[in-house]
Structure 1
Amino acid sequence: MSTPQVQKENTAKKIIIPLLALIILLVMVAWLAGAFNKKVSPGFEAPSPTLVNSISYVVKSSTEAIFEGVAASITAKQTTIISSRLLARIDKINVRAGDIVKRGDVLITLENNDLSSRVIEAQEQVNAMIARYTEAHQNFQRAKELFNKKIASQFDLDKSKADYQSIKAELTAAKQSLAQAQTTLSYATLRAPINGKVVDRFAEPGNTAQAGEKLLSLYNPLSLRVEAQVREQLALTLTQGQSIKVELPTIKQNIVGLVEEIVPAANTGSRSFLIKVSLPYQENLLPGMYARLLIPAGQAQKLYLPKNSVFHVGQLNFVHVLIDGQSQKRFVRIDTKVKPGFISIISGLVDGDIIVTTD
């Protein structure tokens, strides 16, 4: 084969191969675009027929009171910190966190050997002074009798009276010293000042109790209440003694409390007032737990539908609305708060809409 003919064939191949590739590419693009599929002419979907065995429901709005939830905390009105007035070693602690105590129960005992010795010493001093007082009193009485009989002089009577009064004063001082020693000894025994529950203890036997250092903390479970910072527009609508709903999510209960105190000064940062609401006793409540105050915030129009009138497609909610005798599917937004057997509608329906539900 001659060289010119070979060159012509090579040139033809260089042209045909890219052209063939281009044609294949165009065919694939047309196929992906649906050029070889059967075409459907545009038009409107026929309206859905009326549901068989259906029940119609006319939407009506109702006026209801609305409440604004305010985050709050459970606190104890009556709390106390147990601390020592003495610098002494802790001998015994009789309670732990969670224990129930009554007023007057011994909680902590401190070492008191030196204090007991002081009490005994003061008691003996009182006993000695009582003996001297008895003697001085008798001498004074005898001096008065002798003076009345003109046997003793005025000087003897005055001296007996002075000795008597001096010893009487010393006896009073000795009794006061004894009372002070007994009071100091009582500081070595720490008792519960209220009926309550032990929250925590901060020392162990053998530790040295410093004066004023907290050793135990107590609270009264009967004095629990709710405290919340309420924005000023709502807070100013509340009055002392007003009943208010309290939501307790942890124990899944709603109870009614009373507004006990409204602090008459706003927080300048949040423009809110501290509201304190007393609660009836609940065994499962503990200080620090979360609560919500449901404060009245006016009125609003609410729409409710039976639960069986709303159906779901994925995460979307729909209802069948009757329009011109035909049932049409309509998207609605529902509220998380429901009534028994009913669902609250936020948007998608208005007064007068007719909802069709299946029997």
Structure 2
Amino acid sequence: MSSKLAWGGALAVALGVALWAGARASRPPEAPPALTHRDVPAGPARRETQGFVGVAVSESVEIRAPFEGRLEQLTVRPGDAVAAGEELGRLDPRPVQQEATMAEARLAAAEAEVSRVELEAREAGETLARYLRSPAGAFSEQELATARHQEQSARIRLTAAQAQVRERRAVLAQSRQRLEEATLRAPCAGKVVERRVDPGGWVGGGVLLLRLLREGPVQVRFAIPEEALGEVRVGSPVWVELPSLGRTVKGHVREVAPEVDAASRMVFAQAVFEAQGEVEGLVVGTSARVLSPGAQAR
């Protein structure tokens, strides 16, 4: 449409120039005709009047199963308000408790092995030191070499045993962490908006269980056509029409995506309200329209 208007405009200009050139010698120049609204190109100005389509959003938080197991309990439902750290549910902790118990036993065995090898290494070191302090010829070269070999072997076994202790401590820490994660807690204050599963069933690790809306300011996410990218920048003032509240509220652009969405050929941006009190009661998901200050004034 715009390309056709451009070509039509160019053609009209060309014809006008030709007629003016032909008539210039025969009559005095006439005043140019006044512009009408039809002569004003429908570009950014019209887009400003229409605004950018948006939707009220709030930051959401997903609660996922930390590991595979049976969902023993889920105590909240959509609409429930939760506090940060509040218990939301629990996975069956018994399998993880068994893992932790076995990890503790393996760690104890590894620590006992370190104690035993430390004793061997100390004895081997003392034996070698005694050989080295003895008068020349008191021990053969073979006996001295054997003592050195035993001392070095004991040190190597001690290093390996200590490494095994560190490994088993890490396994135990992981088991204890999983045991703690079996109790699902809210990472922040907010409201439950989605519950995907019911307790009693088996869930895989990473499966979405709940979704919360974080307690905090509501924002507006809106789409900018590819050809209008130059009209909106971070920090730009805007007016946001909220049909559900029947009012228009002042805000500014907080962020603009650095790339064009391949499917829609739009760039997504977010605007925040200057005064959250003016949008109290705004429901997340309701429609909005983002306007420039000039468009709002019109």
Whether the TM-score (by the shorter chain) exceeds 0.5 is yes
Amino acid of the residue matched to residue 245 of structure 2? I
Q: For 1:160, which of 133, 154, 158 is the aligned residue?
A: 154
Retained in 1: the 8 A contact 2:237–2:293? no
Q: After superposition, where does 1:115-154 map in structure 2 within 5 Å?
A: 115-150=96-131, 153-154=147-148
Alpha-carbon distance between aligned partners in 2 of 1:265 and 1:184, rounded to the nearest angstrom: 39
Deviation at 1:288, TM superposition (A): 0.2
> Structure 2: which amino acid aligns with 1:134?
S
Amino acid at match of 1:209: V
Return the structure number with greater strand share.
1
- Please provide the CA RMSD for this pair: 3.3
Paired residue for 2:15?
A: none
- What does residue 105 of structure 1 align with? 86
Closer, same or farther in 2 for the Cα pair 1:113/1:91, shift >3 Å? Answer: same
- 1:217 aligns to what SS in structure 2? strand
Aligned with residue 196 of structure 2, among 178, 187, 202 = 202
Alignment of 1:153-232 (within 5 A): 153-231=147-225
Match of 2:69 among 88, 92, 97: 88
The equivalent of 1:246 in structure 2 is: 240
Residue 287 in structure 1 maps to residue 288 in structure 2: no
Taking a change above 3 Å as real, the CA distance of residues 210 and 254 of structure 1, as seen in their structure-2 partners, is: same
Q: Which has the higher helix share?
A: 2
Say if 1:68 and 1:296, in contact at 8 Å, map to a contact too.
no
Query: 1:235–1:272: 8 Å Cα contact kept in structure 2?
Result: no
Number of residue pairs aligned between Structure 1 and Structure 2 = 236
Q: Does structure 2 conserve the Cα–Cα contact (< 8 Å) formed by 1:243 and 1:258?
A: yes
Name the SS for the 2:197 alignment partner: coil
Equivalent residue, structure 1, for 2:56: 74
Mapped partners of 1:269, 1:140: distance in 2: 68
Q: CA distance change for structure 1 residues 267 and 159 in 2, over 3 Å: closer, same or farther?
A: closer
What is the CA distance between 1:93 and its match in structure 2?
1.4
- Taking the aligned partners of 2:296 and 2:181, their CA distance within structure 1 comes to 59
TM superposition shift of 1:110: 0.5
In the superposition, the TM-score normalised over structure 1's length comes to 0.56
Cα separation, partners in 2 of 1:166 and 1:252, compared to 1, 3 Å: same
What residue ranges of structure 1 are gaps of 5+ in the alignment?
Answer: 1-64, 303-359
CA–CA separation in structure 1 for the residues paired with 2:126 and 2:197: 65
Larger Rg: 1
**1:249 offset after TM fit, Å?**
3.0
Instruction: Answer whether contact 2:83 2:188 (CA < 8 A) is retained.
Output: yes
Q: 1:115 to 1:252 in 2, by over 3 A?
A: same
Q: Counterparts of 1:221 and 1:132 in 2: how far apart (Å)?
A: 52
Structure 1 contact 235–275 (Cα < 8 Å) conserved: no
CA contact (8 A) 2:239 2:293 kept: no
TM-score, L = length of structure 2: 0.66
Question: Contact 2:49/2:295 (CA < 8 Å) preserved in 1?
Answer: no
Shift, 1:235, TM fit: 5.2
User: Residues 208 and 69 from structure 1, CA distance in 2 versus in 1: closer, same or farther, beyond 3 angstroms?
Assistant: same
Provide the identity percentage: 25
